[in-house]
Chains A and B, each alone.
Chain A
Amino acid sequence: MSQALQYAFSGVTMGAIYAVVAIGFNLVYSTTGILNFAQGEFVMLGGMIAVTYSRFMPLPVAIAAAVATTAAVAALIEAGFIRRLKRHTLLHMIIVTIGLSIVIREAALLIWDEKVRSLPFFTGTESSSVRVFGAAISPQTLWVLGTVFAIVAVLHVFFRFSLKGKAMRACSANPQAAMLCGINTSNMRTLTFAVSGALGALAGCVISPMTMSQYDMGTSLAIKGFAAAMLGGLGNPMAGVAGGLIVGLAEAFSVSVLPAAYKDAVAFALLLCALFVKPHGLFPERGSIAREA
């Protein structure tokens, strides 16, 4: 029983991170139609930059600064590359994000080498634990869950009530109409990239004490985040949360049946299932871009 609870907690924790990556995917996808392959790299950058900054400043400041830096990088990617493409086909935009993810990863390798790093635990240490329903969990788990919950709540309010959030939704629903209404759609795209970068970076910071940060962690996070986004319904920002939790839990419980080396295959199997059975996800967005050919 407590064993199962332990799995459940670790699944929910990782699932929360996948959920954040999935939200980032969905944000960018719904406003631009791009699958941003560099999404996982934002998580890596957030963790790595925060580790570096934390040597010079207190932890909360370092994290805030890392999030801001990553958001700036993400905005630069949109404004510097994607917006300037000569051929604006989806194919070219997607290929550019693939190239960018490689360049970011290789740059990270040059800056931070191959060493595994991590931020200190926000409260307590590696060995401290909190007992929840009989399962021993790290206080960092609560930080992760709390942060992700806060992210989801803030985004919800942002989309519902703020003018910028409404403009963003308008862009995704009908870019041309939004443009006619005086919304600057290219600035909206830049903003979307920045927000998705910031989200990724924040996730990278809170998870860093538990799973460590390394230059090449982005690809597998991107895949799992994408699987989560597909499961929830691509283009629907909040549905990614459910998708992320499903992927995280499936992965955590798979360890009890499968060799640990195959853990990564679980997310992929879920992704394939989603493609086969429910290509529009569990919570399809109305009038979503993905339609059956």
Chain B
Amino acid sequence: MRAAVRHALPMIAMTAGVVALQLVISAADRQFYMTQLVMALYYTIVVMGLCLVMGYAGQVSLGHGGFFALGGYTSAILTTRNLAAHLRPETLQTLERIGLLWSRTDLYGAPLATLAPWPAFVAALLLTGAVALILGFPALRLKGHYLAMATLGFGLIVYRMLLGSAFTGYADGITGVPPWRLAPGVTVSGAMDNRIVNYYIACGFLLFVLWFLRNLTGSRHGRALRSIHDSETAAKAMGVNTPRLKLQAFVISAVLAAAAGSFLTHFNGGIGPSEADAMKSVRYLTLVAAGGMANIWGAMGVSLALTFLSLRGVFGVYDHAVFGGLLIVIVSVAPNGPGRWVADLLRRRRPTVRSSGAAAEPAT
């Protein structure tokens, strides 16, 4: 019982914080913060997923921008491509009845039939999961950091293909992505009067991811991942299938990125190729490092703050450089995260009373 309370408490506190933040913003009449805040929430979901790969499985992924774009573009393409001319009317009717299809008329009154957002979302997740599997399977069988290069290459290719294909709208990307009605009154869209609802949708999604990842890291699979970090040889000798576990973590994290990409695309009503830019992926990586690597709470906090500031344009032309520089500083000065660094500093400040007698903590 006590364990259940201890497990639920942080989530309850987070929920209270979410509500409090909304009330403060509304009270301060700063509703225009909401748009960037919602975007920051979705990007933070990517960062939290990456935290699983970097902090727990100990692998570098430079492809999360690509996965995000893959999710977003799949949703965008499937919900904007007109199927009215390609399918027979009976088929259209049947598909619409079971909720897969969505018929309406376009601006000029012509019939428009597209896939509904739900099946498009599911397709986006499946596609991204499959791609991550293909990338991760060979790279994670090997010892070393092959995944980093494989994913960097993947991100680059996605970016170039998006820029170079008519199918994905070249540099303009895809616009006119319809709102996604999750439930009556709950719609993912960027409409002004819908901002508070969308804030809660994004927060709800974030809380779900937090819950999901905390469960994972607290379970036997999380323990096994941490054991790989400590000693991969010993973990393997104890029966932990390390390549499979790393692959699973990588695929989960890619699918989370795709889910965030899909939601943000519906929120923004479109998506552009810059989402797959290598720099986006480096940003996600920076935020995980700045949060303390194997620290989901840290990654979440740092990511929300910095992404929000970046989206507000606080860093100006130095936006990229800030993230690159931060990455170097964090890894060289505070490799265990700024939290631990501050804690260590404070401990060193305090005069050590019994430092003479006791032996130093055994090195690990």
* Known contacts A95-B327, A275-B146, A291-B143, A219 near B335 by CB under 8 Å: no
* Known contacts A106-B320, A264-B156, A268-B154, A92 near B161 by CB under 8 Å: no
Query: Which residues of A (21-55) have their CB < 8 Å from a CB of B?
Result: 33, 35, 37
Asked if A223 and B149 sit within 8 Å, CB to CB, the answer is: yes
The interface bits of chain B over 147-184 (1 if a CB of A lies within 8 angstroms of the residue's CB, else 0) are 01110111011001101110000000000000000000
Asked if B320 and A92 sit within 8 Å, CB to CB, the answer is: no
Instruction: Tell me the complex Cα distance, A35–B146, Å.
Output: 9
Q: Does A290 contact B (CB under 8 A)?
A: yes
Q: Does B144 contact A (CB under 8 A)?
A: yes
Please indicate the chain B residues that have their CB under 8 angstroms from the CB of A265 in the complex: 157, 160-161
Please indicate the chain A residues that have their CB under 8 angstroms from the CB of B25 in the complex: none
Asked if A290 and B144 sit within 8 Å, CB to CB, the answer is: yes
* Known contacts A271-B149, A292-B141, A102 near B282 by CB under 8 Å: yes
Out of A33, A95, A102, A110, name the residue touching B279 (CB < 8 Å): A102
Please indicate the chain B residues that have their CB under 8 angstroms from the CB of A86 in the complex: 332-333, 335
Please indicate the chain A residues that have their CB under 8 angstroms from the CB of B149 in the complex: 35, 223, 226, 230, 271
Please indicate the chain A residues that have their CB under 8 angstroms from the CB of B216 in the complex: none
Asked if B62 and A98 sit within 8 Å, CB to CB, the answer is: yes
Interface size on A, residues (CB 8 A): 48
Chain A contact residues, majority secondary structure: helix
Query: Which residues of B (18-45) have their CB < 8 Å from a CB of A?
Result: none
Q: Does A272 contact B (CB under 8 A)?
A: yes
Q: Distance in Å from the Cβ of A139 to the closest Cβ of chain B? A: 31
Q: Distance in Å from the Cβ of B145 to the closest Cβ of chain A? A: 5
Residue ID in chain B nearest A87 by CB atoms: B335
Instruction: Tell me the complex Cα distance, A77–B289, Å.
Output: 20
Instruction: Tell me the complex Cα distance, A291–B143, Å.
Output: 6
Asked if B327 and A99 sit within 8 Å, CB to CB, the answer is: yes
Asked if A102 and B156 sit within 8 Å, CB to CB, the answer is: no
Out of A81, A90, A279, A292, name the residue touching B145 (CB < 8 Å): A90
* Known contacts A84-B332, A91-B58, A293-B242, A279 near B157 by CB under 8 Å: no
Asked if A35 and B332 sit within 8 Å, CB to CB, the answer is: no
Asked if B139 and A98 sit within 8 Å, CB to CB, the answer is: no
Query: Which residues of B (295-340) have their CB < 8 Å from a CB of A?
Result: 318, 320-321, 323-328, 331-333, 335-336
Query: Which residues of B (73-90) have their CB < 8 Å from a CB of A?
Result: none
Q: Does B142 contact A (CB under 8 A)?
A: yes
The interface bits of chain A over 257-284 (1 if a CB of B lies within 8 angstroms of the residue's CB, else 0) are 0010110110110011001100100000
Asked if A99 and B324 sit within 8 Å, CB to CB, the answer is: yes
Q: Does B285 contact A (CB under 8 A)?
A: yes
* Known contacts A261-B161, A272-B135, A290 near B142 by CB under 8 Å: yes
Out of A102, A219, A276, A279, name the residue touching B320 (CB < 8 Å): A102
What would 15 more interface pairs be, CB under 8 Å, given A106-B324, A268-B154, A290-B142?
A35-B145, A37-B152, A85-B331, A91-B145, A102-B327, A103-B324, A106-B318, A219-B152, A261-B163, A268-B156, A268-B157, A271-B153, A275-B138, A275-B146, A276-B138
Question: Footprint of A on B, CB under 8 Å?
Answer: 54, 58, 60, 62, 134-135, 137-146, 148-150, 152-154, 156-157, 160-161, 163-165, 232, 236, 242-243, 278-279, 282, 285-286, 289, 318, 320-321, 323-328, 331-333, 335-336
A and B contact pairs by CB, cutoff 8 A, 8 listed: A87-B335, A90-B145, A96-B332, A102-B320, A268-B156, A272-B134, A272-B150, A279-B138
